[in-house]
Amino acid sequence: MSELNQTHSSLYSATLLAFASVGVRYCSLIEQAGKGSLAELIEQLCGVVPALYVALRNLRRDQAGQESVFAPTDPPVYVTAATYAALQHTLEDLFGSYDTFIEIDKQDEWGETTNTLRMSELLCDIYQPVGDLLGILRDENIVALGPATERCAEQFDLYLGANCLSAARVLHSLDYNPELHQSQDAENSPTLRAASPDDLFSSIL
């Protein structure tokens, strides 16, 4: 096997393929969110988001302590601002009054601080970097795959890992919220409007 083929083979590690498997499941759920009920989406995300965190964490651990062997480059972006906005709007409509939640920061000398966040934005903030890396895998862009994997690992450190944990916590709370499940059959159930991001990642594998 040539040195080039060995490099290509090492890029498609078991860790990366495991990420791709769960990443496709997550992106498919986000892209198709407007086609089902909120309760159904939450139930499925409760299983996928923790698995995605583990896959991303393993990907990050593979990158830890390794010196980059790739030339500096900006990997291509697949999730455009328009796609992000369409998906976020659909999720916002679907979550309705459950879209906003309170995040409590760790306590410091000034006491605890709280931030009001949106679940629709949090889920899309996870979708964006995951979708970008999946797009490179789908197109078999070997040149960009290494830098893109490193970029995703850096994003895990900066915000992606924390976002997955925050999303999992809120999803768990909603999954056991009897009021939410009852509201699905009520007249004030949110109006669903499907987004159209061309389902970029639904058929990657």
pTM, 2 dp: 0.81
Listing DSSP states for 109-123 in one string gives: TTB--EEEEEHHHHH
Which residues lie below 8 Å from residue 149, measured CB to CB, with a gap of 6+? 11, 16, 59, 63, 133
In a domain, 178, yes or no: yes
Q: Is residue 52 part of a domain?
A: yes
Whether residue 124 contacts residue 84, with contact meaning beta carbons closer than 8 Å, is answered with yes
- Say if 191 falls within a structural domain: no
**Confidence at 192, pLDDT banded by 50, 70, 90:** very low
Domain count, the chain: 1
Do the domain assignments include residue 196? no
CA distance 93 to 87: 10
Query: For residue 93, what is the domain's CATH number?
Result: 1.20.120.1550
Residue with tokens 């669903």: 192
Could you read off the pLDDT of 29-64 as tens digits, one per residue? 999 998 999 999 999 999 999 999 999 999 999 876
Query: Residues 6 or more apart from 113 whose CB is under 8 A from it?
Result: 104, 105
- Give the whole-angstrom CA distance, residue 183 versus residue 162: 29
Query: In which domain, by residue range, is 149 found?
Result: 11-183
